[in-house]
Amino acid sequence: MKLLKQLYKIHSPSGKERAMKKFIRKYVKRRIPDITLKSDRKGNLYMIKGSAETYPCIVAHLDQVQKNHSNDFIPIETKELIFGYSPKHRRPEGLGADDKNGIWIALRCLEKYDALKVAFFVEEEIGCRGSIEADMDFFMDCRFVIQPDRRGCKDLISSIGWTGLCSAEFLKSVGYEKFGYQETDGMMTDVLPLKERGLAVSCINLSCGYYEPHTDREFTVKEDLINCLHWVEHIIETCTDVYPHIYNMYKADGRYAFLWDDEYEEAVNEIFGMLDMDDTLGVDDLEYMYGLYFPHLTKEHFIQIYQAYHDLRQDDLLEESEDYNEEQQDFRNLEFLHQTASFTNGFIRKTDFSDKVASGKCSFIKESQKQENLG
């Protein structure tokens, strides 16, 4: 895990990936022989190891969302987890495991295999700006493309919206059930622009063991990350054919059709959860954080979700206030009844005493009268 923690220590927000690129270049040149490196005008990195007719290919992105990254930031490793922490500020800080976990897998595979292609893209988190301008000739001799850039431990992303990413033959060949994965639909990431720009082979996006991405509570489950690495290695070793796949986007009424209801519902759940943790976030913050993952949401949608959250929150606060007022009224009523009961009991005792005096039934009155008679 030493390499992984080194990657976590490097802060690489979108548009400021220079330190990460510098580290990767130095690491590769020192540790991995027979490798060719190049970059394009956008700043994407491309690596080719060995010489082959066709190559397996891994892609990952260099940037992260989190803004907090103190000078004393440290990744803390336990038996099962890794999370980020600032001792000075006594607060958790995001690892950027989305997608440093993918970078780690790519570098591990570069060290292990004789023939492999790897691409690292900039600015994925703000709209896949790097992969949109990728050098597509780099992928001409690839057998398939794998991107480890999905939270959790079991998702095999074979489509994004209604855009299919891979062939049925490739899905059958990768053996995902053996590693505990299941096929599902995903959100926008770099393999989608590659596919839209003409990538003619199968590609997939995989869960790689990070959780609560884009937050300062982000953490990695080591077992899940290692399982993903082992599966990627299995695909590289067993899928030696080229797996063609032609991009196809279904249309309806001349417009792109997407699984809109599912996307919107997921966006609401994600954003509500984030606002529960930090209700100071504004619409622009939410759009920045989630615009990539929900590419079909407009500014108006983010405003609607934001207002819906705060409307519900206001209702909750009002309900809590009403409950509190009812509790206070109940308390005052109870206090009044208690005081009334005390007064009544005292009055009863006084009245009883007066009655006894009037009737001459009080013992000390009787005794006093007796003494007077004797006198």
Residues 217 and 294 occupy one common structural domain: no
pLDDT band at 347 (very low <50, low <70, confident <90, very high): very low
Residues 21 and 121 occupy one common structural domain: yes
Residue that is last in its domain, among 256, 275, 292: 256
Helix axes 97-112, 2-9, angle to 10 degrees: 140
pLDDT tens digits for range 238-266: 999 999 998 755 443 333 334 445 667 78
Residues 44 and 175 occupy one common structural domain: yes
Residues 198 and 309 occupy one common structural domain: no
Residues 217 and 153 occupy one common structural domain: yes
This model's pTM is above 0.75: no
pLDDT band at 56 (very low <50, low <70, confident <90, very high): very high
Does residue 266 contact residue 217 with C-beta atoms inside 8 Å? no
pLDDT band at 341 (very low <50, low <70, confident <90, very high): low
pLDDT tens digits for range 202-238: 999 999 999 999 999 999 999 999 999 999 999 999 9
Residue that is last in its domain, among 256, 281, 298: 256
Residues 296 and 195 occupy one common structural domain: no
**Which residues, 6 or more positions from 51, have their beta carbon under 8 angstroms from its beta carbon?**
115
**Residue of 52, 219, 230 lying closest to 141 (CA atoms):** 52
Residues 134 and 25 occupy one common structural domain: yes
CA dist., res. 27 & res. 375, Å (int) = 121
**Which residues, 6 or more positions from 216, have their beta carbon under 8 angstroms from its beta carbon?**
66, 68, 84, 91, 92, 93, 94
Residues 221 and 309 occupy one common structural domain: no
Helix, strand, coil % in the chain, rounded to nearest 5: 50, 20, 30
Alpha carbon 14 to chain centroid distance? 17
CATH number at residue 140: 3.40.630.10
- Look at residue 104 and tell me whether its pLDDT is greater than 90: yes
CA dist., res. 266 & res. 321, Å (int) = 30
Residues 282 and 241 occupy one common structural domain: no
Residue that is last in its domain, among 212, 232, 256: 256
pLDDT tens digits for range 206-215: 999 999 999 9
Domain span including residue 195: 2-256
Say how many domains are in the chain. 2
CA dist., res. 282 & res. 195, Å (int) = 33
CA dist., res. 74 & res. 3, Å (int) = 14
Residues 177 and 39 occupy one common structural domain: yes
Residues 251 and 334 occupy one common structural domain: no
Residues 201 and 72 occupy one common structural domain: yes
